[in-house]
Chains A and B, each alone.
Chain A
Amino acid sequence: MRLLRTLMAAAAVLAVTAFVAPTFAADDPGPAAYAKSLNGKRVMLVPLAMGFDLAQGWAHYLKKEVEAWGGTFETRDPNWVVDAGAQAITDAIASDTRPDVLIIHAPDLNSYSKLMKKAQAAGTYVLLVDNPANFPADAFVGSDWDKLGQLEAEAAIKGCGETSSKKIGLVQGDQANSSSLYQYAGIMKVLEKHPDFQVVAKPDSNWDATTSRNVTTTMLQQHPDVCSIIDFWDGDATGASAAIRDAKLDGKVFLVTTGGGEKAADCDKLNDGTYGAVVMTDLARQSGDMNAIIKFLLQSGQPAGTSHTYIYTLEKATTKADLKPDSCWDLKELQAEAAAK
C-alpha cells in the first residue's frame, strides 16, 4: 500500500513537472540574450590571401556559423600583398558598415599593429589567427609555432632513427614571418636535447616551391646522407619533395612539413609517401575556437582591447601509419557544398 502511494505521489510530481516544464523553457533567458547580442553583427576575415586551403577552410566554417546566428560574414582578399591587406583593414574600419569583429591573418610581426589598434579604438574586436603579431589582440587563435616546430623536430628524429646519419636539413620560410621564426626556435629547442643530431643547412624558400626545390637540390648534393628535411610549409614543400624525387632519394629522406590538414595538400601526400610526417592543424576545430571566442566577445559587453586570450589549436604530427579517413578535410567537398547552395 505504501509503495502504491509513493508511486502515485511520484507520478503526480512527474505530471506536474511535465506540465510546468514548457513554461520553464520559454523563460530561458539564454536564446533571447544570445540573439540580442549577436543578431546583425558583422564579422570580417582578412587572411593573407583567399586562394589557399587555410583561408578557404576558415571562411567556410565561419560563414556557416556566423550566418546561423544572424550575423554577416565577409572576407577580403589581399592576395599576399601586405599593402592591399592594410588597405582592406583601413577601409573596413572607416566604412559605415564597420565590422564588429575583425579576424586578421598577419603577414609578419608588425605590419598591421597600428591598424589593429585603430580598429580596437573604433570598437572592433580584433582576432589574430594563425600568425602571431606584436600586438595585444583580443584573442589569438592558431598554432603555438614553437610547439609545432618541436613536434616537427621530434617527427624528424623519429623518422631518421637511431642508426641513421642523424643529419637534418631545414627549408625555412623567411626571416620576417613569425610562423617561420618561432617554428625554427622550436625545432632548435628539441635538437639541443639531441646533440647527436645536427642541422646541416637551413636555407629559406621564401615560401616559394621553385626556390624550395633549388635549395633542397643543393642541400642534397652537399649532404647526400641527410636523413630528414623539415620544410616549413606544405605550400612550398612540393618543391623540396621534387628535389628529393629528382635526387632519387625517395624513401631515404624523411620529409616533414606542416599544413592545414587539407586532403590533397597533406593526407594524399602522406599516403603516397611524398611526406613522411605532417604536423596538421585541425582546421574545423580551429574555426570552432574562433566562433566560440567571437560569440563570447560579442556577448561580454567588454570594450574591444581589454582582454587578451591565447587559444592554441591542438597540433599533432601525423604519419602514414596513423592516417584515418577523417584525418583531413577536403577542400573540394567544401567547394562543392558552397556551389550547391
Chain B
Amino acid sequence: MNAIGWPSWRRLNQEGIVFAIAILLFAAAALGLPGFLTADNLVAIVRSVSVLGILALGMAVVIIGRGIDLSAVAIMAMSVAWYLQLLNTGTSDGLAFAYVLAGVLAIGLLNGFLVAYADVPAIFVTLATGSFVFGYVRSQLITQDAVPVPGGHWVELLGGLRFLDIPVEVFVFAGLAFLFFLFLRYTKWGRYIYFAGDNPVAARNIGVPVRPMLVLRYVLSAFVALIAGLLTAASLHSINTRIVNSTLLYDIVLVAVIGGIGLSGGRGGVRNVLVGAALIGILLNAMTIIDIPLLYQNLIKAAILLGAIIVDGIINPRDEQTAQQGDI
C-alpha cells in the first residue's frame, strides 16, 4: 500500500474492506428498507455523522502525526458551554467569543507543548487536559450541565440555516474535509505531518520542524472541536456537557481508525475519515429504521468493527517490517 495515494485495489486494505462493507450495507438497506433511499434520509445520514466527522478530521491529523487527542470532546462541549454561559450572564458577544477562543488556543498549546517539549506521551497529556478542562469549566465557570443558547443569538440562527434544504453542518463538514484534504496533500506542512508520523527521528534529521508542528496539530484539533461544539449547540439550541461522559470520544477514534488511519501514525488521510463516517452513519441509520434497541445496536456496531479489524489482520499481517515502533 502506498502511504497516502490512491489505494491499490489489487491489495485490499482496511479502508477498502470498510468501504466495501459500507457499500454492501447501503445496497441492502436501499433494497430492504422502505424510505432509506430518499433524498431526505440520505441528508439525514450525512448530517447525523457531520459533527462526528468534523471531530474525526481533527483527530485524524493528530493521529497521522503519531499522536492522539483525548481532550477533543471535553474541549468541544466545555468551550461552547462556557461561551453560552458568558452570553447568558450578560457578557458581550465579542468579548465572550474572544475569551473562549483564547481558552481553546491555550488548551491546544498546552497539549502540544507538553507532548512536543516535555515529551509526555500524548495519551496521558490529553487525558489529563481533557479532565482538567471538564472539571474546571464545570465547577468554576458554569452552573449546570446543560446551557441554553440565548434566544435570537447567531448560534441559534446558524442551526436553522439551510441551503437546498440541507442543514449547515453538512456543508461545514464538507468544507472542512476539503480544506484538510488540501492541507494534508498539497501543503509542505501537511506533507511533513506524514514524515513526522512515520518516523519522527528521521523527519527531524532532514530538518522538519517536528516540535512546532506537533503543537500546531493540537491547536488545530482544539479549534476543530470548538467548531463541532458550536454546530451541536446550533442544532439543539443548547449544549449538554454530559456528552463528555458519553462514548463520543471512542466513536471519533473509531471513525478515524476504522477508516484505515493507523494509530501508529504516518498513514491515512481525509478519505479514510469519510469512509469511516459513512459506515457508521449508514449502520446507525439502518438500525434505527429497523428499530433495533440501542443495546443491540452497540453490539452490532462493535461486531462489524471487530470483524473489519480481524479481516485486516488476516489480509495484511503484521510482521517486523510493517510493525512500527510506537504502535499502540
Contact = CB atoms under 8 A, between A and B. Distances in A.
Interface stretch (B6-14, B111-119, B144-152, B259-267): B144-152
A245 B148 CA distance: 17
Contacts of A239: 236
Interface stretch (A148-156, A206-214, A313-321): A206-214
Interface string B82-113: 00000000000000000000000000000000
A49 B240 CA distance: 13
Contacts of A227: none
Interface string B42-56: 001001100100000
A222 B35 contact: yes
B50 to A, nearest CB: 11
Interface residues of A, number: 36
Contact of A52 (B144, B235, B245): B144
B285 interface: yes
A282 interface: no
B293 to A, nearest CB: 6
A175 B246 contact: no
A56 interface: yes
Contact of B236 (A51, A175, A242): A242
A239 B242 CA distance: 14
A203 B286 CA distance: 12
B48 A217 contact: yes
A80 B293 contact: no
A235 interface: yes
A201 interface: yes
B144 A218 contact: no
A108 interface: no
* Interface secondary structure of A, over-half rule: helix
Contact of A242 (B34, B51, B235, B240): B235
Interface in B27-78: 34-35, 38, 40-41, 44, 47-48, 51
Contact of A51 (B38, B159, B232, B241): B241
Interface residues of B, number: 37
A323 interface: no
A53 B240 CA distance: 13
A201 B35 CA distance: 14
A44 B236 CA distance: 34
Interface string B228-244: 00001001111011110
B30 to A, nearest CB: 14
Given A52-B146, A175-B294, A175-B295, A221 B41 contact: yes
Interface of B: 34-35, 38, 40-41, 44, 47-48, 51, 138, 143-146, 148, 159-160, 167, 232, 235-238, 240-243, 245-246, 284-285, 288-289, 291, 293-295
Interface of A: 49, 51-53, 56, 79-81, 174-175, 201-204, 206-210, 213-215, 217-219, 221-222, 235, 238-239, 242, 245-246, 264, 331, 335
13 contacts: A51-B241, A51-B242, A80-B245, A175-B295, A201-B288, A206-B246, A207-B242, A209-B238, A214-B48, A218-B289, A235-B240, A239-B236, A242-B236
Given A51-B144, A235-B146, A242-B159, 7 more contacts: A174-B295, A208-B243, A208-B246, A209-B240, A210-B51, A210-B236, A221-B38
- Pick the 10 closest A-B CB pairs, nearest first: A204-B294, A51-B145, A214-B48, A218-B288, A222-B35, A217-B44, A209-B236, A80-B245, A52-B145, A215-B288
